[in-house]
Amino acid sequence: MFRHRKLFTAAGALAAVLMTVTFAPPAATAAPVGKVVGYFTEWGVYDRNYQVKNVETSGSAGKLTHINYAFGNVTNGQCAIGDTYAAYDKYYDAASSVDGVSDTWDNSALRGNFGQLKRLKAMHPGLKVIYSFGGWTWSSGFGQAAQNPAAFADSCYNLLHDPRWAGVFDGIDIDWEYPNACGLSCDTSGAAAYKNLMGALRSRFGGELVTSAITADGTSGGKIDAADYGGAAQYVDWYNVMTYDYFGAFDADGPTAPHSPLTSYDGIPIAGFYADAAIQKLKSKGVPPSKMLLGIGFYGRGWTGVTQAAPGGSATGAAPGKYEAGIEDYKLIKSRCPSNGTVAGTAYAFCGSEWWSYDTPSTIAGKIGYARDQGLGGAFVWELSGDTTNGELITAVSS
């Protein structure tokens, strides 16, 4: 329904130290990863049939610190709901409801995803929900919004605080792809526009959460250099750095390459297209590591017409996917084309004439170790419906 191209190792287990003393010291434990943020997509309740209830039954709700609800639209310089039916009108019976209680037909209580999220929060009092606006499809409206940041911020605040869904949202997330650069469309609002917009949001939202999903383009003169992410960092609680979708079958003939490399590697098609390059560049811009969350994709990207297992092979096009060519949820690709190699901290798989890359619990453990070593604020995932029914990947993130 929507296309969101994001520009978002083995486990570093702690070794037990054997000591020849008469007492056993306390066992060493790894520092917690910090925030664990998962995107829940508004449209996922349709073809994917991924409901808020699945966040609970998979065990994900107990492992998340925050849910990003994606996406709201940005139009006419304002925040707007994308799909009102899915958001607050869809009826859930007892069997499909997160808490086993059916909605009412008379609208006396909040329905739809908003109603389900409110119930989920009641079940997990520490869980926060953030409303994310923009994304790959709806970022074109940010240019107009940036012309009057205060008016935009006011519209967003009023939307999130509508009394009909009071208590659902704890803040706002801005997913502008990309300020003063090109995504689905090109923005020419200038390098200062992003900082100004985020400053207006902070002023209007006060102490509520203000976050933003941002590019992970670590190239010289690339998207990170196009906007003042360093200057805007003072206004955000954290950045979701979209360290995935670097490579994929949008380049139909290849070369095959992992879509979410953590580090560089010999033969990488574009220098600077890997997670660590983005993190280090953002640090150099003055973004505190604690305000950066590492992005992890719960899906694979793949090509067909490939004849070699190692990265760097030619292809003839996108491999088939259930919802979109060239993309497949982890829960489907893990058995359809099991990983048989790793490169740059992520996994890849070669089966028949298809070549895929995706993260596994093992490679996620390595990425979480990297996030901890870098002093990052945690990790976020795009998006929850790609995980297995028992939350295999989110468990690896939170562990």
Give helix 275-284 / helix 361-373 axis angle, nearest 10°.
Answer: 20
Domain locations in the chain? 35-297+359-398
**Which residue(s) pair with 182 in the sheet?**
186
Give the pLDDT confidence of 295-321 residue by residue, as tens digits.
999 999 999 999 999 999 999 999 999
Distance from C-alpha of 237 to C-alpha of 287, rounded to nearest angstrom: 11
- 244: which residues sit within 8 A by CB, 6+ positions away? 6, 8, 216, 259, 260, 295, 296, 297, 382
**In this predicted structure, what is the pLDDT of residue 121?**
98
What pLDDT shows up at residue 25? 31
- Residue tagged active-site, from 177, 208, 328, 392: 177
Among residues 390, 361, 298, the alpha carbon closest in space to that of 58 is found at: 390
Q: Are 234 and 207 contacting, i.e. CB atoms less than 8 angstroms apart? A: no
pTM to 2 decimals? 0.91
Q: Is the dihedral of CA 367, 221, 266, 354 positive or negative?
A: positive
Show Cβ contacts of residue 307 under 8 Å, excluding neighbours closer than 6 positions.
Answer: 313, 314, 353
Q: What are phi and psi of 93, to 5 degrees?
A: -80, 180
Query: pLDDT below 70 — which residues of the chain?
Result: 1-33
Would residue 177 show up in a list of annotated catalytic residues for this protein? yes
Q: Give the per-residue pLDDT at 105.
A: 85
- Looking at domain 35-297+359-398, its CATH class is alpha beta
Tell me how far apart the terminal alpha carbons of the chain are, to the nearest angstrom.
Answer: 32
- Report the alpha-carbon distance of residue 378 to residue 370 in Å, rounded: 10
Please tell me the distance from the alpha carbon of residue 143 to that of residue 81, in angstroms, as a whole number: 18
- Is residue 279 a contact partner of residue 367, using CB atoms and an 8 Å limit? no
- The answer to whether the CB of 309 falls within 8 A of the CB of 350 is yes
Report d(CA 397, CA 380) in Å as an integer.
9
